[in-house]
């Protein structure tokens, strides 16, 4: 656990292993950096003149201070062009710098204050009691230093790895300290929730079963102050949830519907309902996936994990909004009782579904959860799912796709994506797409025929049939939930969606 504090002190006089300084793109030191460089006997100017550092985004350079200031090292962290700087870039750069500090075996770090012009540019436009720049810096460093070593064995006598243990955010004035501390406090809540989400994503399928997810949520709900209910197969049968039960019937692991409720808004305020796909392992069922990367299908519950993490953060932040989180959890296996291509399932809504491909199971577990969501009389529904591989062909690992029924709702999600860096890109959802979900032998079919491509949109078109007259948005996060290493995320599980949803709900209060 990293201890984070804020204090007012001249960075030139602050004693630490590593002083991190944010630098805009430039040919020579300017402003506060020029003053610091004077104390360093021109070391920064020489690095810039020698083209070893120029302040480009996420560029870093570690400089030994040679005892010229109390800090043992100065780490220059490039934020790019001044006019292009935003909170997401500050978040990234904070993480990049923290990673280099830890790799360099520096356990205590401090961040110098942002140049006053930059701080003013990044300040929140709405009245706020917390410093958003402090939150971005503190979130970035914590998420960049996330590690998951639950399943690694340690040999007797192996030295403990050097981790960053302490971070200080230096304030430009004594009056700024309180807001920075509050920003850092918010960052810890959001980072902890994102780390919890990443942990759930990373556990292997033989650990993270639907029952495991349910137990994890029950424990989290108790500590965070959420109401929690677990709907098990007998009750699902009574409710007519034939779609989620169909997906899970080939597995020895019982399916679960995890229900979380948070009441932070006014009494009687309609809630926002979040729904997250919780397929804890996806073999594809009878429509078996190729074996190449099947081991990664433990992450097919990433939408559900994001909803769980967001609910934890919302409760601990005490946001003034009512929120319900639903996670339909199942394991998709090709057992002797598994559904087969051509089978017809009856969903909770009463609509019948022809299963043409058992690997299009995510929309089946979600459709029953979307019907269940109606009992909360929501003002909006947002679902998240690693639904289609097609979204990677469309957007790669750069953004999630969104389709829906309400432009204002989608615009809010897109705006939150820009703020947090968890980007969202809208795709169309036309009548032709909805028509292509109609089956010849049932009400709907779970995939369209080969004449209709648009796999990501077709997944949304299928889900739309289970949403009544409520603003609804569907996020396909398959390209964002899992991927290569980024400044503030390790290779593999990213925890995508937690920060996006928290920002969205904060503005929806």
Burial class (CB in 10 A: 0-12, 13-18, 19+), 454: buried
pLDDT in tens, 429-484: 999 999 999 999 999 999 987 656 899 999 999 999 999 999 999 999 999 999 99
Give the pLDDT band (50/70/90) at residue 370: very high
Give the pLDDT band (50/70/90) at residue 125: low
Please determine, for residue 276, whether its predicted confidence score (pLDDT) is greater than 90: yes
pLDDT in tens, 172-226: 999 999 999 999 999 999 999 999 999 999 999 999 999 999 999 999 999 999 9
| Tokens coding 490 | 């390790």
Q: Which residues contact 186 (CB under 8 A, 6 or more apart)?
A: 130, 135, 317
Are 280 and 209 in contact, with CB atoms under 8 Å apart? yes
Please determine, for residue 396, whether its predicted confidence score (pLDDT) is greater than 70: yes
Q: Which residues contact 83 (CB under 8 A, 6 or more apart)?
A: none
The label of the residue with tokens 């396909």 reads: 476
Mean pLDDT (whole number) for 155-165:
87
pLDDT in tens, 321-355: 999 999 999 999 999 999 999 999 999 999 999 99
Please determine, for residue 485, whether its predicted confidence score (pLDDT) is greater than 70: yes
Residue 420's Cβ-side half-sphere holds a number of Cα atoms within 13 Å equal to 29
Average pLDDT over the chain reads 96
Please determine, for residue 117, whether its predicted confidence score (pLDDT) is greater than 80: no
∠ Cα 53 56 61 (to 5°): 35
Q: Which pLDDT value is given to residue 452? A: 64
Catalytic residue among 181, 198, 316, 363: 363
Q: Which residues pair with 77 in a beta bridge?
A: 22, 60
Give the pLDDT band (50/70/90) at residue 115: confident
CA dist 339 and 208 (Å) reads 22
The answer for 7, left when phi > 0, alpha when psi is -120 to 50, beta otherwise, is beta
CA dist 270 and 374 (Å) reads 11
CA dist 365 and 278 (Å) reads 8
Q: Which residues contact 152 (CB under 8 A, 6 or more apart)?
A: none
Are 280 and 258 in contact, with CB atoms under 8 Å apart? no
Please determine, for residue 154, whether its predicted confidence score (pLDDT) is greater than 90: no
CA dist 428 and 159 (Å) reads 54
∠ Cα 486 490 496 (to 5°): 75
Decide if 375 is catalytic: no
The SS3 call for residue 343 is coil
Mean pLDDT (whole number) for 486-507:
96
Q: Which residues pair with 11 in a beta bridge?
A: none
The SS3 call for residue 435 is helix
CA dist 332 and 354 (Å) reads 17
- Domains of the chain and CATH, by start: 3-179 (3.40.220.10), 193-508 (3.40.630.10)
pLDDT in tens, 57-103: 999 999 999 999 999 999 999 999 999 999 999 999 999 999 999 99
Catalytic residue among 46, 289, 351, 379: 289
Please determine, for residue 13, whether its predicted confidence score (pLDDT) is greater than 80: yes
Q: Which pLDDT value is given to residue 17? A: 98
Are 255 and 214 in contact, with CB atoms under 8 Å apart? no
Are 504 and 319 in contact, with CB atoms under 8 Å apart? no
CA-based radius of gyration for the chain: 24
The label of the residue with tokens 């780490």 reads: 75
Decide if 377 is catalytic: no
């Amino acid at each position: 656990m990293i201890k984070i504090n804020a204090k007012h002190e001249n960075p030139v006089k602050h004693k630490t292993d590593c002083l991190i300084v944010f630098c805009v793109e430039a040919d020579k030191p300017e402003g506060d950096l020029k003053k610091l460089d004077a104390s360093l006997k021109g070391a920064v100017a020489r690095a810039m003149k020698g083209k070893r550092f120029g302040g480009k985004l996420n560029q870093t350079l570690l400089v030994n201070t040679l005892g010229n200031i109390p800090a043992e090292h100065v780490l220059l962290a490039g934020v790019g062009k001044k006019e292009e700087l935003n909170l997401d870039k500050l978040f990234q750069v904070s993480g990049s710098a923290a990673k280099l500090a830890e790799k360099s075996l520096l356990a205590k770090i401090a961040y110098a204050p942002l140049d006053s012009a930059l701080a003013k540019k990044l300040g929140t436009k709405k009245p706020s009691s917390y410093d958003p720049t402090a939150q971005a810096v503190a979130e970035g460093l914590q998420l960049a230093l996330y590690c998951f070593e639950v399943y690694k064995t340690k040999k007797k006598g192996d030295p403990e790895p050097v981790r960053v243990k302490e971070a200080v955010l230096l304030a430009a004035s004594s009056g700024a300290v309180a807001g920075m501390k509050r920003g850092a406090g918010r960052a810890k809540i959001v980072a902890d929730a994102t780390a919890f989400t990443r942990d759930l994503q990373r556990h292997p399928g033989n650990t993270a079963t639907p029952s495991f997810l349910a137990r994890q949520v029950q424990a989290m709900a108790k500590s965070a102050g959420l109401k929690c209910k677990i709907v098990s197969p007998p009750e699902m049968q009574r409710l007519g949830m034939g779609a989620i039960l169909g997906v899970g019937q080939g597995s020895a692991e019982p399916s679960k519907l995890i229900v979380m409720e948070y009441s932070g808004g006014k009494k009687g305020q309609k809630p926002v309902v979040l729904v997250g796909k919780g397929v804890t392992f996806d073999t594809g069922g009878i429509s078996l996936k190729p074996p190449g990367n099947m081991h990664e299908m433990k992450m097919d519950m990433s939408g559900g994990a994001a909803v769980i993490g967001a609910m934890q953060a919302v409760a601990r932040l005490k946001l003034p909004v009512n929120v319900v989180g639903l996670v339909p959890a199942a394991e998709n296996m090709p057992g002797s009782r598994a559904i087969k291509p051509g089978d017809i399932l009856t969903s909770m809504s009463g609509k019948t579904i022809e299963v043409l491909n058992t690997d299009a199971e995510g929309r089946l577990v979600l459709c029953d959860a979307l019907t269940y969501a109606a009992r909360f009389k929501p003002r909006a529904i947002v679902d998240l799912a690693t639904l289609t591989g097609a979204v990677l062909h469309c957007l790669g690992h750069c953004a999630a796709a969104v389709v829906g029924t309400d432009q204002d709702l989608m615009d809010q999600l897109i705006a939150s994506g820009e703020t947090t860096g968890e980007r969202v890109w809208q795709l169309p959802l036309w009548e032709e797409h909805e028509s292509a979900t109609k089956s010849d032998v049932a009400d709907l079919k779970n995939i369209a025929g080969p004449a209709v491509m648009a796999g990501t949109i077709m997944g949304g078109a299928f889900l739309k049939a289970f949403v009544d007259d409520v603003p609804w948005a569907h996020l396909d996060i398959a390209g964002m939930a899992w991927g290569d290493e980024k400044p503030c995320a390790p290779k593999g599980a990213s925890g995508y969606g937690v920060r996006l949803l928290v920002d969205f709900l904060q503005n929806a209060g």
